Amino acid sequence: MSFSKKILIVDDSKTNLAVISSLLSSNNYVISFAVSGEMALKIVEKAPPELILMDVMMPGMNGFETCRELKKNPATEKIPVIFVSANNDTESIVQGFEAGGVDYVGKPLVEKEILARVALHLEVAELRSSLEEKVQVRTKELEKANNQLTQSKEIVEAALRVKNDFFARVSHEFRTPLNAIIGFSELLQMNFENTLTENQIKDIDNINDAGKALLKMFENILKLTELESGDLDLDIEPVEILPLWNHVNDSYSNCAHEKNIEVITEIPEEKNPCVLADPSNLQWVFEALLYNAILYNNPNGKIWFSSEPVTNGHIRLNIKDNGTGISAEKQERIFKSVNTFDSDYASEEGLGVSLTAAHKLIGKMSGQIGFTTEVNKGTTFFLELPLAPKD
């Protein structure tokens, strides 16, 4: 360590002052003196030393009292104080540490011991000061980084609000013309006067299918934006599963019929589960899962709807198909991405938006959603929801 450190010696004995100052001066320390506690406090206030050697027994303010006053002042509280006293009993030593001293040296002094203790405590004080400076610098850096993160978070949140507002407006604006396209195409499909050719009927069917698919996509986007913006409030109540499922199944019967897909409900009426959920939003999840099971199924495929009990008062509802399955590289992002899957997955629109929204909805109902899959053999999506208490 470098010397020329400033040390204050506080002792009412001129003999002790001379002995200690001679020893320390010869080791390149810069020495100042005080013959009382009161004088020591005045010197420290004007020219703070880097260490204090303090006698205990002095007239007026003793060493312990002087040390306590130093520790009360934020400007001097970190200056290390070593007590030097002929009182080497345990009680005195404990008093010294309780007063704020860092060490206690007995008289008569041993030169090598006092030099070693002075050097040690100066080095500790220097290391502590260096560490505190580094902590302060690091704290400022972290505060700056935190402020930047806060600003970035606010920018992202503002951008998300703009995005959600845009999607919500677009979805609402497009629903009216899309419903008109779907409605008029359905009128044309009826071909009341038998004036349409086979190719024209096929084209109208394609227009109708595309309109319905686009409308479904906008409905999915609207649901997701409601969830992300926090504008969606749920009304949790007991919901009987079979009536809700049967309603959804009937709604999509034509869609399933077009691919000759059979939907099999394996839950008997007498075992109709009752769960705690939001009815309209649980219906929306059923619609999303059944629609996807039809889209990604093979012609002449099958879909099974079943239930099974699980732990913690929940029930698992399974929607299983024997369709194309989901490849390994796409499984990890199935509930995260709102983008469509790659073109090699299927020719229809992707699962992203509807499954992301379904995942969020089931979570808000204190449930969870998951899946098992095997490529070219099929996929099972399952919902775990809390059972409603029995009357």
pLDDT at 168: 64
Residue 220 lies in a domain: no
Structural domain containing residue 51: 6-109
Please give the residue that has the higher pLDDT: either 299 or 337.
299
Question: Lowest mean pLDDT: which of 4-8, 31-35, 161-165, 204-208?
Answer: 161-165
- DSSP one-letter code for 390: P
C-alpha separations of 349 from 108, 171, 275, 296 in Å: 92, 17, 31, 10
Query: What ranges in the chain are assigned the alpha helix state H?
Result: 14-25, 37-46, 63-72, 90-99, 111-190, 198-229, 241-251, 253-258, 279-295, 328-331, 352-364
pLDDT at 340: 38
Q: Is pLDDT at 190 greater than 50 in this prediction? A: yes
Both 171 and 70 in one domain: the answer is no
Return the amino acid letter for 376.
Answer: N
Residue 10 lies in a domain: yes
- DSSP one-letter code for 389: P
For 228-239, what is the mean pLDDT? 80
pLDDT at 167: 64
* Secondary element (H or E) of residue 265: strand 262-265
Tell which of 84, 109, 134 closes a domain: 109
Residue 130 lies in a domain: no
Residue 219 lies in a domain: no
Both 184 and 100 in one domain: the answer is no
221: tokens are 């986007």
What's the domain count of the chain?
3
* Secondary element (H or E) of residue 302: strand 302-309
3-state SS, residue 260: coil
Contacts of 164 (CB under 8 A, 6+ apart): 225, 228, 229
pLDDT at 97: 95
Residue 154 lies in a domain: yes
For 59-72, what is the mean pLDDT? 94
Both 199 and 262 in one domain: the answer is no
Residue 279 lies in a domain: yes
Q: Residue 187's pLDDT band (boundaries 50, 70, 90)? A: confident
For 85-112, what is the mean pLDDT? 92
C-alpha to C-alpha distance for 321 and 346, rounded to whole angstroms? 15
Q: Is pLDDT at 324 greater than 60 in this prediction? A: yes
Question: Between β-strands 262-265 and 378-386, what pairing exists: parallel, antiparallel or unpaired?
Answer: unpaired
Both 242 and 373 in one domain: the answer is yes
Residue 295 lies in a domain: yes
The CATH number that applies at residue 297 is 3.30.565.10
Residue 330 lies in a domain: yes
C-alpha to C-alpha distance for 252 and 246, rounded to whole angstroms? 10
3-state SS, residue 298: coil
- DSSP one-letter code for 351: S
Both 33 and 168 in one domain: the answer is no
pLDDT at 232: 74
* Secondary element (H or E) of residue 84: strand 81-85
Both 241 and 361 in one domain: the answer is yes
Both 245 and 377 in one domain: the answer is yes
13: tokens are 């004995």
Tell which of 157, 176, 210 closes a domain: 210
The CATH number that applies at residue 23 is 3.40.50.2300
Please give the residue that has the higher pLDDT: either 273 or 344.
273
Both 21 and 95 in one domain: the answer is yes
| CB neighbours of residue 211 within 10 Å | 20
For 152-169, what is the mean pLDDT? 73
Both 277 and 203 in one domain: the answer is no
Both 194 and 271 in one domain: the answer is no
pLDDT at 342: 40
| CB neighbours of residue 360 within 10 Å | 17
Do 100 and 66 contact (CB within 8 A), yes or no?
A: no
Both 381 and 248 in one domain: the answer is yes
Tell which of 109, 129, 155 closes a domain: 109
For 123-139, what is the mean pLDDT? 91
pLDDT at 189: 79
Q: What are the tens digits of pLDDT across the range 132-151?
A: 899 999 999 999 989 888 88
Both 103 and 167 in one domain: the answer is no
Do 346 and 375 contact (CB within 8 A), yes or no?
A: no
C-alpha to C-alpha distance for 378 and 347, rounded to whole angstroms? 17
